[in-house]
Structure 1
Amino acid sequence: MRIAVGAVGEGGVLRPVADDGTPAGPAEPVADLVAAIARREAMASRPGGARGDAAGDDVASRRGGDVPARPGGDAPERPGPTRGDAASPPAGIRWVWPSTAGLYPRLLRAGVRVARCHDLELTETLLLGHAGRFGEPRSVAAALARLRGDPVPEDPVAAGDLPTLFDEGPSDDIDAVVAVHAEQQRRVAETGLRMLAAAESAGALAAAEMGHDGLPWRADVHDALLTGLMGPRPAPGLRPRELQRLADLIGEALGRRINPDSPSQIVKAFAQAGVQISSTRSHVLRQVEHPAARLLLEYKELARLYVAHGWSWADTWVRDGRFRPEYVVGGVVSGRWATNGGGALQIPKVLRRAVVADPGWRLVVADAAQLEPRVLAALAGDQAFAAAAGENDLYSALAGVFGGARDKAKIALLSAMYGGTSGEAPQLLAVMRRRFPAAYDYVEAAARAGEAGRVVRSRLGRTCPPPSPEWRDLAVQDGGGSAVRSRGRFTRNFVVQASAADWALVLLAALRRRLTALGSGGTAPRLVFFQHDEVIVHAPRELAEAVITAIRDSAAEARRLVFGDTPVRFPMEAVAVECYADAK
């Protein structure tokens, strides 16, 4: 059952719609939208409640009958993902609304959680991308204007912003929501993006919930860690004591007082000391034989921590013992997430001591081992490569092919996926081409498509941006030079990285569903962190083992749904700890 939602102030309008988007009942005005959604969600979750899609968050449903194509091509390779199994969730409502990021935080603040939704803005972004129309407005008002052939308005909120209240205007009109949803359902079926659209919408629910629940964070431990590294918190406008000490030592080593935060001053000071450097990047400084270079590297590392995750960061992002990031679903073209500030996707190892479970709870930390090479094995259908990817350590399983050296197997695979050509890469790639031709040809086909100016797609259909007019002009002038090769490297990696993001999204949706089945309310295990291929669940101690099982089962389900019948394994190494730093 699907219910379209139009929000107006504290109230709104609800209207049931069929799976194809056609109205299935009259519109119903409600004075309290949150209460109305809560009431219907509770009724639907009871035995015998409203019937929904057969599989969790719809990601376990078949992708509209389509089959994946070779990168940049149209010919099918093999059967697509299969339907879910007994792990499918209870039936329920799929809420159809313009923006999960816009409306769902209101529900969460009121203690209301929903099982599934269809996010019109995220789905519109996927559909526009599939059509090669990146960057066009994605709001309901814009989608409706395109549908009617009217002038398309700009989005009222810049991409990546996360409003806390639903904007009033055409995007809240229930008739617009219903019309845009119906058109999207037609295009989703036509393009085969059903699973991807459902996974993206499920991801939006998880993102809002993680921002609401927050990652347990000990502010006192954070302060102690910073103080131990830098000294006490400085007064505004001053550097921490250790940073100032390093700045003074850098000045002494270079024979003049400089600002270590000014690249131009550093380059000039080194030149006056008889050392020519092209930039102040760390990899450049590591090659410099001068005492100031080592000091600068120390300074840069501490300064980065101070700016990105220092005391001011904690003041902004840590509240009530929780780090509460704002995730941006699909914030990267490959489908990976971004954050709207806060740096949730790059918590420094030195600060992981501050991530501590509540008393009586545990952090279940899990990440996928060697995800992208395994994704390539599953995509390419290379039998020998896939057999090796059925082992826990893919690189060790392949070591025999590369003279018994695990590190050479790793270099070969990374070079294949990222277009590496330096050092031993050419010789190792020649071995890979000979021993694993299907895997090698898969990424080569993607690279050639990119170099020719074509687009490539992920396993579930996420599309890379087409080349810009400026690129096409440069490619003609360059005659197959650096611009062409650069795009080839991009598309080569896109098919793997974006397909890995597909798998991770489906994993997230499946895990979210399983965690809901383990409990509800204040003792329920909660997803509190997600980073590309890593998840953290905050769970009562007695449920930690059940959560570990849920993570592993979700990884296996994501493998089946995204890649079908494949011998490739996607192991999720999971451990229950009190402190994040103890997980690795």
Structure 2
Amino acid sequence: MQLVEGLLLGYAGRWGEPRSVAAVVARRDGRLVPADPLARVADPPGGGQPALFTPVVAESSLRDVVDGYADQVARLAALPEPGRLRLLAAAESAGALVAAEMGYEGLPWRVEVHRGLLADMLGAPSLVGGPPARLVELSARIAAVFGLRALRPERPAEVLRAFALAGITVPSTRSWVLRGVDHPAVPLLLDFKERYRIWTAHGWSWIDAWVRGGRFRPEYVPGGVVSGRWATRGGGALQIPRVIRRAVVADPGWKLVVADAGQLEPRILAAISGDQRLAAAGAAGDLYAALATEAFGGDRAKAKVALLGAMYGQTGGAALPALAVLRRSYPVAWEFVEAAARTGEAGGLVRSWLGRTCPPAAADAPDLLGSGPDGPASPGGPDSNSATARSRARGRFTRNFVVQATAAEWALTLLATLRTSLGGMQARLVFFQHDEVVVHCPADEAPAVTAAITAAGRQASQLLFGATRVRFPTHTQVVDCYADATH
């Protein structure tokens, strides 16, 4: 009910208003709408004593739930075109159910494998709680390269100061920035960043806090990002590094069926824009290769840069020549994202294919779509706080929102239909991340699970887009270890 209320409020241009069950009923009755309770931070598996001043929120009655649900059904039916948002409400609700089930089932996790990986990457843990041996060693080597007695590489200010002493001005210590710097400390710094991230995000303390009974059980947050993508409350389930995936191993006699939708967002753009040439380009398989052959002289890298640049708003610099080719060759798709950008720049609202509405301009932030810690930097420069810069940033946001939010809808619809098709099997959904699904099943069920995933992908495409020419292939692999799945 809370997820659907958020969808309805956003559709009505009231994004961010309270959406609890109590708020739904109070809004229907014309009473003062209570504020939502504060979001709870997940307790690590195993529980523990709650915080002393954690507020206790009274549960809504069954009558409130029944009345609130009836009100939401009536509001959905009263919309000018209720079908799409009703499908989104169903997919969002099914996603919430799957999230709860996956948290209960847990992802198979071999603690002994994980500890072995940590020993190889980090060396011996500190006896006093400090960095492990390998990080201490790297810190000393980095300091020596800079000619310093000591340096803490995890502190950006110290790294920037070290570069400045070496006569090099570096705007930040992000990995993509460092790769462009010519200095012998750079390879060591990049190595340190990767190992440090493993230690802090998935180290020994993480194992103790999040794994029990051979399972990792995070708390998923459906719709935790404004585009509809999921988030988690603790545990870092949606950012498991490839090296740590070695610890995700199927039970004896069981398999992991790993499926991902290749090049999902570009294919989504083809479907929602109605660009028939772009749809035809991806019909044979590799969309970027097809684009390259048709419009970029066979250069797949340029084709990929152009298409991603069009969706993410990179409209200048090295991407400019490739974007010009894309604009000439696929004008319908180009105009679709341009129109979304213009709406955003003007302060307007855009919607996904099924009707998820973006937040208003005042609520925007650079990371609203869920970019990672080393993702593209937010717009900067002398006029980064000017109205023009804010307007352009808003345009980049809405340009990508219409694509990414629709991609999230396709993935949720696949997840919902797959859950239904697994009924009667021992197979269990255990992981979902944007466009990737992992099912844990007995070995003899793997062929049926693989077929169910393929069918769910087709059904999701049919439900969202009808008889579209766009193809959404799902790449499915049956493995014993999650890290063995290639993407």
Match of 2:205 in 1: 312
Do structure 1's residue 540 and structure 2's residue 428 form an aligned pair? Answer: no
Could you tell me whether the CA contact under 8 Å between 1:395 and 1:410 is conserved in 2? yes
What is the CA distance between 1:479 and its match in structure 2?
A: 7.8
Q: Would the alpha carbon gap of residues 162 and 244 (structure 1) be closer, same or farther in structure 2, given more than 3 Å must change?
A: closer
1:182 corresponds to which residue?
70
Query: In 2 relative to 1, CA 374–184 (structure 1 residues): closer, same or farther, beyond 3 Å?
Result: same
Aligned sequence identity (%): 58
Residue number in structure 2 paired with 1:398: 291
Task: Say which of 264, 273, 277 aligns to 2:166.
Answer: 273
Report what 1:288 is aligned to. Answer: 181
Q: 1:271 to 1:353 in 2, by over 3 A?
A: same
Q: Secondary structure, in 3 states, of the residue corresponding to 1:468?
A: helix
Question: In the TM superposition, what is the alpha-carbon distance from 1:277 to its structure 2 partner?
Answer: 2.5
2:472 to 570, 575, 582: 570
Q: 1:35-434 residue pairs with structure 2 within 5 A?
A: 120-158=1-39, 171-191=59-79, 192=82, 193-254=85-146, 255-399=148-292, 400-434=294-328
Structure 1 pair 425–283 and aligned structure 2 pair: CA distance change class (3 A): closer
Q: How many angstroms apart in 1 are the aligned matches of 2:155 and 2:58? A: 48
Higher RCO, 1 vs 2 (CA within 8 Å, ≥6 residues apart): 2
Q: Which amino acid aligns with 1:183?
A: D
**Following TM superposition, by how much is the alpha carbon of 1:361 offset from its aligned partner in structure 2, in angstroms?**
0.5
Q: Which secondary structure does the structure 2 equivalent of 1:207 belong to?
A: helix
* Helix, strand or coil at the partner of 2:66: helix
Structure 2 residues without counterparts, runs of 5 or longer: 366-383
Q: Could you tell me how far 1:250 is from its partner in structure 2? A: 1.8
**More divergent stretch after superposition (288-297 vs 548-557):** 288-297
Q: Distance in 2 between matches of 1:169 and 1:246?
A: 48
Per-residue CA deviations over 1:203-253 (Å, capped at 9, x if unaligned) read: 011001111101111000000011011112332422111000011112222
SS of equivalent residue, structure 2 residue 476: strand
Cα distance in 1, alignment partners of residues 347 and 40 from structure 2: 26
* Structure 1 partner of 2:484: 582
2:66 and 2:444 map into 1 onto residues whose CA distance is 44
Q: Which amino acid aligns with 1:501?
A: A
Deviations 1:58-117 (A, max 9, x none): xxxxxxxxxxxxxxxxxxxxxxxxxxxxxxxxxxxxxxxxxxxxxxxxxxxxxxxxxxxx
Which digits, 9 at most, give the CA deviation of each residue in 1:511-550, with x for residues without a partner? 0011114x2xxxx100111000000100100010111100
Aligned partners of 1:233 and 1:462: how far apart in 2?
46
> What amino acid is the match of 1:408?
K
Partners of 1:276 and 1:340 in 2: CA distance: 37
Per-residue deviation, residues 323-357 of structure 1 (Å, max 9, x unmatched): 11111000000000001111111110111111110
Contact 1:362 1:538 in 2 (8 A): yes
- Tell whether the 8 Å contact from 2:37 to 2:57 is kept in structure 1 after alignment: no
Q: Secondary structure at the match of 2:431?
A: strand
- The code of the aligned residue for 1:555 comes to G
Between the aligned partners of 2:474 and 2:242, the Cα distance in structure 1 is: 20
CA distance in 2, matches of 1:499, 1:326: 24
**1:450 and 2:344 aligned:** yes
Partner secondary structure for residue 31 of structure 2 = coil
Structure 1: tracts of 5 or more residues without a match: 1-119, 472-476
* Distance (whole Å) between structure 2 residues aligned to residue 159 and residue 405 of structure 1: 49
Matches for 1:460-539 after TM superposition, within 5 Å: 460-468=354-362, 481-517=388-424, 519=425, 524-539=426-441
The 2-side partners of 1:241 and 1:356 are apart by 28
What letter is aligned with 2:348?
Answer: R
AA in 2 matched with 1:452:
A
Match runs of 1:6-17 below 5 Å: none
Measure how far apart 1:148 and its partner are. Answer: 2.1
Q: What is the RMSD of the two structures over their aligned residues, measured on CA atoms?
A: 2.3
| Range moving further from structure 2, 254-263 or 121-130 | 254-263
Aligned partner of 2:458 in structure 1 is 556
Q: Distance in 2 between matches of 1:433 and 1:478?
A: 30
Conserved in 1, the CA contact under 8 Å of 2:364 and 2:394?
A: no
User: What is the deviation of 1:454?
Assistant: 0.7
Does structure 2 conserve the Cα–Cα contact (< 8 Å) formed by 1:389 and 1:567? no
174-183 or 570-579: which moved more?
Answer: 174-183
Using a 3 Å threshold, how does the CA distance of structure 1 residues 486 and 234 change in structure 2: closer, same or farther?
Answer: same
- What is the distance in 2 between the residues matched to 1:353 and 1:224? 10
The structural deviation recorded for 1:130 is 1.3
Q: Secondary structure at the match of 2:423?
A: helix
Distance 1:160 1:568, change over 3 A: farther
How many residue pairs get aligned? The number is 455
Residues 384-439 of structure 1: CA deviation (Å, up to 9, x unaligned): 11112222111122222221222222122111111112344322222222222211
The range that moved more, 145-154 or 155-164, is: 155-164
SS, match of residue 441 in structure 2 = strand
**How much has 1:258 moved relative to structure 2?**
2.3
Question: TM-score, structure 2 length as denominator?
Answer: 0.89
Distance across 2 between alignment mates of 1:426 and 1:148: 54
Comparing 415-424 with 155-164, greater Cα deviation is found at 155-164
- For residue 372 of structure 2, what is the aligned residue in structure 1? none
CA contact (8 A) 1:170 1:176 kept: no
Does structure 1 retain, via aligned residues, the 8 Å contact 2:156–2:173?
Answer: yes
Alpha-carbon distance in structure 1 between the residues aligned to 2:150 and 2:338: 52
Give the Cα–Cα distance (whole angstroms) in 2 for the partners of residues 501 and 211 of structure 1.
Answer: 20
In 1, the alpha carbon distance for the partners of 2:162 and 2:63 equals 65
Question: CA offset at residue 170 of structure 1?
Answer: 6.1
Per the TM alignment, residue 271 of structure 1 is displaced from its structure 2 partner at its CA by 2.4
1:212 and 1:442 map into 2 onto residues whose CA distance is: 41
1:553 corresponds to which letter in structure 2? A
CA contact (8 A) 2:108 2:249 kept: yes
Contact 2:42 2:234 (8 Å CA) reproduced: no
Q: 2:280 and 2:43 mapped to 1: Cα distance? A: 43
AA in 1 matched with 2:114: H
Aligned-partner Cα distance in 1 for 2:139–2:318: 40
For the 8 Å contact 1:160–1:331, the answer to whether it is kept is: no
Distance 1:149 1:314, change over 3 A: same
**Aligned counterparts of 1:380 and 1:151: Cα–Cα separation in 2:** 42
Q: Give me the whole-angstrom Cα distance separating, in 2, the residues matched to 1:479 and 1:284.
A: 25
| C-alpha distance in structure 1 between counterparts of 2:117 and 2:36, whole Å | 42
CA contact (8 A) 2:42 2:219 kept: no
In the alignment, the residues of structure 2 paired with residue 435 and residue 188 of structure 1 have an alpha-carbon distance, to the nearest angstrom, of 39
Change in CA separation of 1:470 and 1:210 when aligned onto 2, cut-off 3 Å: closer
| 3-state SS of 1:529 partner | strand
User: Does structure 2 retain, via aligned residues, the 8 Å contact 1:140–1:171?
Assistant: no
